[in-house]
Structure 1
């Protein structure tokens, strides 16, 4: 039973990390109706910026306080992501207003390649580390119930708490604020939103800034666990089944989808893997998302679109 709980908790924590990346997809899609293939590279770019700034700031300022340096590096990386968001709107999206989804999709692919190349030029291509003070030593819980207790990684618990806080804040933002409602209006119909006075340029800058901040948090957490390397951009591929499962328009759905995928991967690999030779963790999420595309393409929390003619 203890081993099962360890596997279950490990899957939940991995699912929260997937969900952090998936949140960026959902935010961009809710505001523009386009699937942002640049989200994985945004996670990498933000993590690279934070890791390198954390190295450079002590050299520039002489500071020797890791906490202050980390906070300054996070703030600097956030400002950089806001600048990226402004440039994306000014140089790309502004010229593609009311274009079809395929055009916008190709634009995000171009943004992804540009950010990847720029990241290498500005920050280098080595493997870097991010130290944000999260504990590395495992915790052993419920040792009164199970012999030896249940091993839990505190770093995963902190990441899960960060993800939950982001979901709560974003849900309140979309539901309770004027800007959030404007974002949903733009996603439904660009032209109708413009006709009632909603400025697409302002809305798109805001949503790309928020998505950039989410990418920074995801990159910070993943970089702290695994190191900052260019394989981080493949996180977008692991997050695709999450948004398909949860729904492209649902912020809570990204979290629920991430938890289902994370738990499903771990449990299937541990309990089914020995019977099929292993490797289930690699393809489990994609098979599950394929099933959902066949029977419920809008996902668990997505809005079902009905066209009347």
Structure 2
């Protein structure tokens, strides 16, 4: 491989970190729902696809960007509330595997609805962000990746402020800590769950626009949910901070592995290295870096 090129190493590392932020966006949607209801929402990837496909289809019909964005946000909020009321409430006390299978089936229903509404053709999504790299200290940085990272950071800051300083946010944290205690003090769990699912739908909208702009809006976009799983394993399924840190770690390690281990192992290592790292980490710390340990009273 020759002499070690430090600027190139930094370039690969920064590119991986910025990609990791994109993974974190999807993972945050998982965390929001899992913290309050204990549901591993496998349909989050389908929500990402539905949001991107709805937005790009509306813009192709001639609607202005802002109008299409507002209508898509409204559609995601209504979809999230409908999912919460028709699926989560009837199954709230069922075993976790039942809830997981329900969200798995829900993902196919959402994909089918998207196909019925908007068709199956591939769409290009242009957010008006020039992706020409710019140089900083000899390191090339993607303009689009930097924009995506800024949007993700703004969303994380907004969510953190919402859950820390608003009444609904305090209720959310109470439910996340102890559902039985939250019920005992009079908190209305259905309303909180509806709020959380709505928030997860809006997170899916942002993730869908950014991932759709990068990969194109196609049905394989829903598979981005698989990239969130190793992120959650590393960071913890119930920690927003963990979703961010896990995304950064996965993004950085898979890029570095592709560049520095790929020539020895073979191409395509970026596609599976994250899962190997997550499996190894799972054996050492099953709850993730920031996940809460489950304490059972007997």
**TM bucket, shorter chain:** over 0.9
1:125 aligns with 2:120: yes
Structure 2 partner of 1:257: 246
Identify which range, 287-296 or 90-99, moves more after superposition: 90-99
Structure 1 counterpart of 2:101, from 102, 106, 114:
106
TM-align CA RMSD: 1.5
Q: Displacement of 1:81 after TM fit?
A: 0.4
Structure 2 partner of 1:65: none
Paired residue secondary structure (1:95): coil
Q: Deviations over 1:156-201 (max 9, x none)?
A: 0000011111111212222332212322333344444333222222
Counterpart-to-counterpart distance in 2, 1:52 and 1:160:
25
How do residues 122-271 of structure 1 correspond to structure 2 at under 5 angstroms?
A: 122-142=117-137, 149-271=138-260
TM-score, with structure 2 as normaliser:
0.94
Structure 2 partner of 1:16: 21
Paired residue secondary structure (2:151): helix
Structure 1 counterpart of 2:262, from 251, 273, 277:
273
TM-score, with structure 1 as normaliser:
0.91
Q: Deviations over 1:81-130 (max 9, x none)?
A: 01101211222222123222222212211221110000000111111122
Identify which range, 298-307 or 89-98, moves more after superposition: 89-98
Structure 2 partner of 1:61: none
Counterpart-to-counterpart distance in 1, 2:268 and 2:60:
38
> Structure 1 residues 181, 99: CA separation in 2 closer, same or farther (over 3 Å shift)?
farther
Does the aligned pair in 2 maintain the 1:89–1:205 contact within 8 Å? yes
Structure 2 partner of 1:85: 80
Counterpart-to-counterpart distance in 2, 1:96 and 1:195:
21
Identify which range, 298-307 or 7-16, moves more after superposition: 298-307
Flag structure 1 segments of 5+ consecutive residues without an equivalent.
59-68, 143-148
Q: Displacement of 1:283 after TM fit?
A: 1.6
Identify which range, 299-308 or 81-90, moves more after superposition: 299-308
Structure 2 partner of 1:47: 52
Paired residue secondary structure (1:127): coil
Paired residue secondary structure (2:61): helix
Counterpart-to-counterpart distance in 1, 2:212 and 2:43:
18
Paired residue secondary structure (1:151): strand
Structure 1 counterpart of 2:7, from 2, 6, 13:
2
Does the aligned pair in 2 maintain the 1:98–1:191 contact within 8 Å? no
Structure 1 partner of 2:65: 70
Flag structure 2 segments of 5+ consecutive residues without an equivalent.
1-5
Paired residue secondary structure (1:92): helix
Does the aligned pair in 2 maintain the 1:47–1:220 contact within 8 Å? yes
Counterpart-to-counterpart distance in 1, 2:36 and 2:62:
35
